[in-house]
Structures are given as C-alpha cells and as structure tokens.
C-alpha cells in the first residue's frame, strides 16, 4: 500500500497535490512519500519482530542502490534501518545520511583495494566477500591496516530467481557469489587468518521475486552450510538473507506477503542461534515513489496509432527499456472520457525509449500530467544524462510539507562539469 491517492479526481502525494509540485519544480521529477517508506519499513520490522528469536533481532539493511537519495536514506536511518552498500560512494552516502557504520554491510562483486580499505577504516558492520580472489586481496589489505574486519562469504547456491532474466543473481552462471563447496573451504581459510573475522554467510539470489519457493531453497542452503561449518568447529554467528522480495507493479496482490516471507525465513533459521540480516531495496522504496511527467504532444498517425510523447524518457526511468518492466501510468487529473490506447514514449532518439505499448488511458492532451507509479526503486537511481538531458529533480513529501531534496541542475551546471582540453581553446 502507498500514500499516492486520488482526492476529487486529483492525484496527491500524501497531503500534497502532484500538480502543485509540478507547478513549483517543473517536470519530469521524482516524488517520494515519507509515509510510504515508513509504512513499508515498519511492516517489515514488525513481521521480523514476530520471529525475534529466530532472527536474533534481525537487521534490516536497505539496499542503497534502489534509491540512494540522501533524504530517503535519512528517513529510513531515523527508523533504525541499516544499509546494504556496493561501493565507496554508497558507504559514504549511508554514513552521510546518518546510518551508523555498525549497520552498514558492504557487498559487491568487484570491490577495489581502495574501497576495501575504506570500508575497513570506516569499520562497517561486515564485508560480504564474493570470491576467493577478493578474500585473498582483503587479507593483504587488512594486514596492511593491522585490522581484522568482520567478513561474511556470499554464497552462490545455484538458485536463480527474479522478475526478469537480467535481474537474476543466484544462478550458477551468474557472476555473483562463491559456489557453496568452495565457500566452505574458504571460510576455514578465513578463520585461520589473523586478519579476517569470519562471522557468517550471505546470499542474494535475484530481484522482484514473486514466489517464495526459491527464496526458501536459498535460506535452506544457508542453514545447511551453517551446520556443516559448525560441524567443522567453525563459528557462524550471522546469516545475511539478501533482498529480492517482489512488489505488485500491476496493482494486484500477486506477491507473497511480508509476513509469509518473514515466516519462511524464520522456519529456515529456527534454532540456529544466528543474527539475521535482510537487504530489501525494492520492497521498501518502489511504491514510495512516482515519476511525474508532462505530455509534450500526442502524435496521431493516419492508421490511428497514438504516440503519447512525454517529457520523461528512458534516461530518467530505464526499467521499461532495460527489462520490459511494467509501470502503471496514471493521469494526475482524471478528466473522465472514454479511455484509448497510447504508445507511451519519451523524446530520446532510440527506439527502446518506449514506456508502454497500447496502454489504455483516459484521454490526454498536451500539457497534461501523468505519474508513473512504483518508480521509487531503481528509478532515479539508474537515471543518466543521455541525450544531454540533465538529471531530474527529486522531491520528498512528508504529510502536508515537501522538500526539494535534489534540485534540477541548470544546463550551465551540466556543462560546467566538463573541462575543454586546453589545445581546443
Ligand atoms: N542485496 C544485494 C546484494 C543486491 O545485489 C540487491 C539488488 C539487493 C540486495 C536488493 O534487491 P531488491 O530487494 O531490491 O530486489 N535494477 C533492477 C534491480 C537490480 C537489483 C540488483 N541487486 C530493476 O530495476 O529491477
């Protein structure tokens, strides 16, 4: 559930009409809802608290990649949320937003030496190591820093899952994680190193997962691996169950409930006496954001096909172009009228700049506003300046108030970031 609702035909973000925001900051723009972020975090927190013992409390570490906006992170941090990070930039963002280092997990398949050293110095909660090569590099770096960072090994359980082949991470051919057998041996090696403190295992098999079965299989694999490691006399105190739970982009309740997800995880961890961590990204942020756009024009072809050309494009919201992702599109003012099919497109010179084909919408005209729903995760986060379109602004709404939390750069600001080679002057 989210807090973008219609009042007398007009779409609101909590207590603020989206039209007011469009007037104030222009379009396109991302709009986030504090109440929705809070609601999702609280629902997950409560669901985990039901199984407090199985999870040893349980840390929620928001996957920063889903929405790295500082105000979004700070909103979650104030609720007690930690952060799952995959770069020095993300660690810095999490710290700047007020997430304590003790709640920051550092994941990622290609952490550089500099990033590993930064994470050690920052004293993050744990580094999730994803390969033998990384483990050995980390040993050397930690030795040089005279440190012994907490390490979890991310295993690849050969269970891929997710809403699209391009967002699967746990399959045998995926680049992520360490094959289970190898992870068991590496754990022992890590244990013998004075410069590593192995604390447990981690796993993340994919994203937009709408079926609990593969997640349960992955959790069971972690459980089995824990028991094997312990039978070899190796301590395992933490299990990181990753993120991946899907959200209902189509509006229907096709996704597992948060309670069912927590119960499944608890069944796997029951009696293990470990501290669990969860790394949700989409679950917390997707429905907490919309992309607000204006209709530039409607191009009608002689054959009747209508192209709804928006001022937002694939550089602002890549998910449809990249994964054929579906985002519900709502007119900000529902003026009634017989709905008609539109090909909803952006102005970019690429034929993949299509948000939806033959989407049936209430009639729209030049200047009308539309909102892409469920755009709070992997929306602004993945945007870029293709076609020299400056990054679009982000707004955070909180009840009746709102704040521009990332302004729209001017064209000069965009150009001023570059330096012309001196021989071209
Ligand atoms: N933990 C790790 C190690 C991850 O790689 C990811 C996401 C997450 C947690 C959070 O997963 P979530 O709970 O959000 O499913 N850009 C794609 C999604 C890519 C996800 C990558 N990893 C999209 O727009 O659908």
Mean pLDDT of the chain: 96
Q: Do 362 and 261 fall into the same domain? A: no
Residue 101 lies in a domain: yes
Judged against a pLDDT cut of 80, whether residue 395 lies above it is answered with yes
Q: Is the pTM of this model over 0.85?
A: yes
Q: Do 156 and 197 fall into the same domain? A: yes
Residue 28 lies in a domain: yes
The best mutation among 44, 59, 244 to test binding of ligand 1, ranked by most ligand atoms within 8 Å of the C-beta, falls on: 244
Is the CB–ligand 1 distance for residue 281 below 6 Å?
A: yes
Q: Do 50 and 106 fall into the same domain? A: yes
Mean pLDDT of 379-395: 98
Distance 244 CA to ligand 1 centre (A): 6
Q: Report how far apart, in Å, the C-alpha atoms of 240 and of each of 33, 121, 211, 227, 321 are.
A: 28, 22, 19, 15, 31
Q: Do 161 and 229 fall into the same domain? A: yes
Q: Do 397 and 266 fall into the same domain? A: no
| CB contact set of 82 (below 8 Å; sequence gap of 6+) | 59, 60, 61, 62, 99, 100, 103, 104, 105, 125, 277
Among residues 257, 285, 313, which one ends one of the domains?
Answer: 285
Q: Do 22 and 71 fall into the same domain? A: no
Q: Do 168 and 111 fall into the same domain? A: yes
Q: How high is the pLDDT of residue 253?
A: 61
Q: Do 184 and 331 fall into the same domain? A: no
Q: Per this entry, what is the length of the chain?
A: 425
Active-site amino acid positions: 349
Residue 130 lies in a domain: yes
Q: What is the pLDDT of residues 262-289, one digit of tens each?
A: 999 999 999 999 999 999 999 999 999 9
- Cβ-in-10-Å burial (0-12, 13-18, 19+) of 365 comes to exposed
| CB contact set of 353 (below 8 Å; sequence gap of 6+) | 313, 314, 321, 345, 346, 347
The best mutation among 204, 247, 278 to test binding of ligand 1, ranked by most ligand atoms within 8 Å of the C-beta, falls on: 204
Distance 206 CA to ligand 1 centre (A): 7
Question: Residue 148 sits in which domain range?
Answer: 34-285
φ/ψ (deg, to 5) at 303: -80, 5
Q: How high is the pLDDT of residue 159?
A: 87
Is the CB–ligand 1 distance for residue 90 below 6 Å?
A: no
Q: What is the pLDDT of residues 50-82, one digit of tens each?
A: 999 999 999 999 999 999 999 999 999 999 999
For ligand 1, atom 8, the nearest C-alpha belongs to 243
Residue 160 lies in a domain: yes
Cα–Cα distance measured from residue 182 to residue 218, given in angstroms and rounded to the nearest whole number: 16
Mean pLDDT of 210-224: 96
Concatenated DSSP letters of 178-214? EEHHHHHHHHHHHHH-TT-EEEEEE---BSSB--HHH
Judged against a pLDDT cut of 80, whether residue 252 lies above it is answered with no
Q: Do 18 and 47 fall into the same domain? A: no
Q: What is the pLDDT of residues 298-332, one digit of tens each?
A: 999 999 999 999 999 999 999 999 999 999 999 99
Q: How high is the pLDDT of residue 160?
A: 73
Among residues 285, 304, 335, which one ends one of the domains?
Answer: 285
Residue 422 lies in a domain: no
Judged against a pLDDT cut of 90, whether residue 176 lies above it is answered with no
The model's confidence at residue 161, banded by pLDDT at 50, 70 and 90, is: confident
Cα–Cα distance measured from residue 327 to residue 267, given in angstroms and rounded to the nearest whole number: 33
Taken in order 325, 326, 332, 335, the sign of the CA dihedral is positive
Residue 423 lies in a domain: no
Q: Taking the CB of residue 42, how many other CB atoms lie within 10 A of it?
A: 11
Among residues 285, 301, 329, which one ends one of the domains?
Answer: 285
φ/ψ (deg, to 5) at 373: -80, 165
Residue 424 lies in a domain: no
Is the CB–ligand 1 distance for residue 186 below 6 Å?
A: no
Q: Do 309 and 387 fall into the same domain? A: yes
Q: Do 198 and 338 fall into the same domain? A: no
Cα–Cα distance measured from residue 243 to residue 280, given in angstroms and rounded to the nearest whole number: 4
Q: Do 170 and 265 fall into the same domain? A: yes
CATH code: domain of residue 240: 3.20.20.10
Mean pLDDT of 193-197: 98
Distance 282 CA to ligand 1 centre (A): 7
The model's confidence at residue 162, banded by pLDDT at 50, 70 and 90, is: confident
Residue 403 lies in a domain: yes
Number of domains in the chain: 2
Distance 280 CA to ligand 1 centre (A): 8
CATH code: domain of residue 370: 2.40.37.10
């Amino acid at each position: 559930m989210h807090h973008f609702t219609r009042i007398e035909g007009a779409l609101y973000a909590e207590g603020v009409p989206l039209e007011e925001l469009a007037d104030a900051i222009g379009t396109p723009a991302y709009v986030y809802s504090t109440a929705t972020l809070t609601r999702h975090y609280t629902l997950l927190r409560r669901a985990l608290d039901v199984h407090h013992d199985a999870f040893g409390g349980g840390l929620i570490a928001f996957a920063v990649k889903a929405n790295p906006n500082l105000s979004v992170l700070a909103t979650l941090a104030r609720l007690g949320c930690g952060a799952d990070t995959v770069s020095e930039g993300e660690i810095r963002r999490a710290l700047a937003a007020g997430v304590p280092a003790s709640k920051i997990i550092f994941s990622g398949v290609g952490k550089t030496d500099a990033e590993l050293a930064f994470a050690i110095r920052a004293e993050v909660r744990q580094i999730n190591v994803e390969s033998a090569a990384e483990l050995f590099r980390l040993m050397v770096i930690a030795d040089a820093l005279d440190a012994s960072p907490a390490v979890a090994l991310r295993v690849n359980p050969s269970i891929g899952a997710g809403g699209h082949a391009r967002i699967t991470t746990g399959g045998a051919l995926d680049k992520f994680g360490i094959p289970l057998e190898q992870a068991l041996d590496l754990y022992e090696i890590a244990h013998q190193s004075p410069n590593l403190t192995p604390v447990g295992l981690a796993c993340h098999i994919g994203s937009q997962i709408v079926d609990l079965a593969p997640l349960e299989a992955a959790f069971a694999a972690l459980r089995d691996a824990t028991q094997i490691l312990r039978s070899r006399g190796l301590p395992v105190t933490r299990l990181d169950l990753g993120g991946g739970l899907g959200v209902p982009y189509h509006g229907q309740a096709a996704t597992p409930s948060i309670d069912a997800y927590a119960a499944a995880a608890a069944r796997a961890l029951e009696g293990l006496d470990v501290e669990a961590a969860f790394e949700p990204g989409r679950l917390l942020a997707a429905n907490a954001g919309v992309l607000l756009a204006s209709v530039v024009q409607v191009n009608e072809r002689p054959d009747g096909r209508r192209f709804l050309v928006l001022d937002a494009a694939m550089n602002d919201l890549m998910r449809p172009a990249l994964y054929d992702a579906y985002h519900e599109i709502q007119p900000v003012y529902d003026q009634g009228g017989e709905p008609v099919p539109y090909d909803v497109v952006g102005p970019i010179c690429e034929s993949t700049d299509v948000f939806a084909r033959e989407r049936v919408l209430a009639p729209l005209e030049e200047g009308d506003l539309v909102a892409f729903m469920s755009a709070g995760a992997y929306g602004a986060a993945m945007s870029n300046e293709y076609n020299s379109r400056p990054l679009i602004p982000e707004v955070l709404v909180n009840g009746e108030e709102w704040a521009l939390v990332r302004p729209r750069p001017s064209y000069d600001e965009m150009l001023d970031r570059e330096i012309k080679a001196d021989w071209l002057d």
